[in-house]
Homo-oligomer: A and B are copies of this chain.
């Protein structure tokens, strides 16, 4: 997500572009996928040391509302976030042993959305998470 596009989206939503928001945006892209608020806060602080955790939460809320970020739930009791990649879309593979998170670009959900639409429900988004054991953990036990 480049800064100009993000700034434009924020302004279009009547929101302002601040140093803190730039820091959170950069933190999000640097952290890659499924980072939690604490991690984002830590990373954003490198660029803007005085940023508070509360601001990170509020910024993530604004980003989500403007489509710049999206949330992910992996069942560990915290909300995770990642920058929205325009046109792209990925899912998470969570290793139940080491906790590492991998991703996959493949998605076989679309045909399902079709059959659901035929029942009257219009799908606008979906979330898919896969759980299991990564190559490393699978061989070492």
Residues of A within 8 A of B (CB): 71, 73, 75, 77, 79, 93, 95-96, 102, 104, 106-109, 111-113, 115-116, 119-135, 138
Contact = CB atoms under 8 A, between A and B. Distances in A.
B124 A132 contact: yes
A79 B73 CA distance: 10
A123 B127 contact: no
A133 B127 contact: no
B131 A128 contact: no
26 contacts: A73-B73, A73-B75, A104-B115, A108-B108, A108-B111, A108-B112, A109-B109, A109-B128, A109-B130, A116-B130, A119-B135, A120-B134, A121-B132, A121-B134, A122-B132, A123-B130, A123-B131, A124-B132, A125-B132, A126-B128, A126-B130, A126-B131, A127-B128, A127-B129, A128-B128, A128-B129
